[in-house]
Amino acid sequence: MISYSEDTIAAISTPPGEGGIAVVRISGKSSKSIADRIFHGKTKPSGAESHTVHFGKIIDPANSELVDEVLLTVMSAPNSYTAEDVIEISSHGGQLVAKKILDLCLKAGARNALPGEFTQRAFLNGRIDLAQAEAVADMISAKTDMSLKSAAQQLGGNISQTVTSLGEKLRNLLALLEAYTDFPEEEMGQGDVNKLTDDLNEIKEEINRLILSYEEGKILKSGLKIPIVGRPNVGKSSLFNRLLDESRTIVTEIPGTTRDTVSEFINMAGIPVELIDTAGIRQTGDVVEVEGIKRARREIENADLLLALVDMTDTEILDDIKSLIEALGSANYILLANKADLIDQNMLEARKISLAEYNPLSISAETGMGLDQLRDLIIHSAGISKRTGIKDETVITNVRHRDALRKGLEYLDKVEKGIAEKASYEFLAFDLKHAISALEEIIGKTTPEDILNKIFSQFCIGK
Ligand SMILES: Nc1nc2c(ncn2[C@@H]2O[C@H](COP(=O)(O)OP(=O)(O)O)[C@@H](O)[C@H]2O)c(=O)[nH]1
Ligand SMILES: [Mg+2]
């Protein structure tokens, strides 16, 4: 195995702030000798067995001052997170202690780790592939159990295995084609033509399924963005708060007080849902209000789904519905008639009949009426079954993976077309090779350096 770098890197791997413990992580050739210089216990880190934990003191070699009592973990190459020698020092919590220990490591010869550099080393040293490295970041940022499960499956290698097996199948076809490239005059036998087209179709189908799974995967990972829109005073903030089950925004009777947008993530049947309370859509001369409405428009453009709210007690509700629907254009929305608690049963039935064309769901942000149905509608619109949740099939959650699959599919289409048009074997092989390399970008075999750097720079420091 080639070691990726001569440098030894160090960082605080626990999040900033106060906590019970903080962890400084060191990785690289000199991690043990660096630990030897600052750690004083029964055993020297360099003499310790791999995967053992040692109690001792961190002492500043410059002035012999005690910094902290710590537990030090030794993990020898290649059985560590980075596949290099790794030392982890668990000190008392708080940024100051950890910062001091990190400083001592730097003075003793380590350098500050870049964001994601530990994971990058794990990748470059061949311990995990790129899709798995990305899964590490997804696990850290997962917002619900279901997003966590899909990231864990990716870290476990489900995408890597799927891609590797597709790559192997394509390489078999490539071998078949290359056998013919030495005899360009010879026509391909019917049996081989059939095998090639059948296999190609099967592979294309699988790639297509993966591409389509991104629609679900995207939702699992990033969730649904759902702004609540409607005229001032229809109850947007009340609904927002009710759904959040806590009061974060001011609910008031003065129209237009929600000047900006407020957003919050909630967990709906395993899907992370970002609810956004927006300022009302309406004409106004007030500058601040105008800004809020502009922002609401921006939210509408980026929305997965909108909750379009009207007021059941409003005598001009039909006009309001019409103008709201017009304002939303082609966006995907659920129409809600709020404050249904304020009108009696007869009136409610009459309203339902007169609004039948638009079929709004009657709700009350005040009493909670209709909100279970609303939640079901939202889950349904996400295309994820509430009962089964995430399937065991590989689901693509990363747009980079989807784009690589699309690129691979385009090349396979070319191969297919080429076979039909009896293109030269070399031509077919050329496109097939491109398809393979597009797919293998997913696991990092063929990924350009700049894309690698971009992926790892999005990690936090210490990971
Ligand atoms: N009775 C009743 N009052 C509601 C309901 N939803 C909102 N309200 C009231 O309507 C007023 C405006 O609500 P608010 O949420 O601030 O509307 P927004 O301007 O659309 O955000 C407040 O006085 C709320 O208490 C509801 O379902 N039933
Ligand atoms: Mg409001």
The minimum-distance atom of ligand 1 relative to the CA of 232 is 19
Question: Per the domain annotation, does 449 fall within a domain?
Answer: no
| pTM of the predicted model as reported, rounded to 2 decimal places | 0.76
Q: In this structure, which residue's CA is closest to atom 6 in ligand 1?
A: 235
- Segment-wise mean pLDDT, segments of 10 residues, the chain, 463 residues: 70 89 97 98 97 98 97 97 97 92 97 95 94 92 84 92 96 92 82 91 95 87 88 92 62 47 79 81 58 72 91 92 89 94 91 91 95 89 55 83 97 95 92 96 89 87 83
Tokens coding 202: 């099967």
Which residue carries 């990924």 as its tokens?
A: 447
Tokens coding 29: 């050739």
> In this structure, are 145 and 213 located in the same domain?
yes
CA of 228 to the centre of ligand 2 (A): 10
CA of 290 to the centre of ligand 2 (A): 14
> How far is Cα 463 from Cα 459, in angstroms, rounded to an integer?
7
Q: In this structure, which residue's CA is closest to atom 28 in ligand 1?
A: 339
Question: Per the domain annotation, does 109 fall within a domain?
Answer: yes
> In this structure, are 373 and 247 located in the same domain?
yes
> How far is Cα 150 from Cα 59, in angstroms, rounded to an integer?
43
Ligand 1 mutation target, pool 243, 251, 289, 317, most atoms within 8 A of CB = 251
Shortest-distance ligand to the CA of residue 255: 1
> In this structure, are 101 and 139 located in the same domain?
no
Question: Per the domain annotation, does 456 fall within a domain?
Answer: no
DSSP H or E run through 91 = strand 86-92
CATH number of the domain bearing residue 420: 1.20.120.430
> In this structure, are 240 and 309 located in the same domain?
yes
Shortest-distance ligand to the CA of residue 311: 1
Type of residue found at 139: M
Ligand 1 mutation target, pool 233, 277, 281, most atoms within 8 A of CB = 233
pLDDT value at residue 291: 64
**Is the Cβ–Cβ distance between 228 and 331 less than 8 Å?**
no
Question: Per the domain annotation, does 403 fall within a domain?
Answer: yes
Ligand 1 mutation target, pool 228, 233, 237, 238, most atoms within 8 A of CB = 238
> In this structure, are 215 and 238 located in the same domain?
no
> In this structure, are 15 and 42 located in the same domain?
yes
**Is the Cβ–Cβ distance between 31 and 46 less than 8 Å?**
no
- Any idea how long the chain is? 463
The minimum-distance atom of ligand 1 relative to the CA of 252 is 16
pLDDT value at residue 57: 98
Which of 316, 370, 320, 374 has the alpha carbon at shortest distance from 340? Answer: 370
Number of domains in the chain: 3
pLDDT value at residue 251: 40
Question: Per the domain annotation, does 280 fall within a domain?
Answer: yes
> In this structure, are 275 and 313 located in the same domain?
yes
Ligand 1 surroundings by CB, under 6 angstroms: 230, 232-238, 251-253, 258, 280, 338-339, 341-342, 364-366
CATH number of the domain bearing residue 340: 3.40.50.300
CA of 337 to the centre of ligand 2 (A): 16
Question: Per the domain annotation, does 454 fall within a domain?
Answer: no
Q: Percent helix, strand and coil across the chain, each rounded to 5?
A: 45, 15, 35
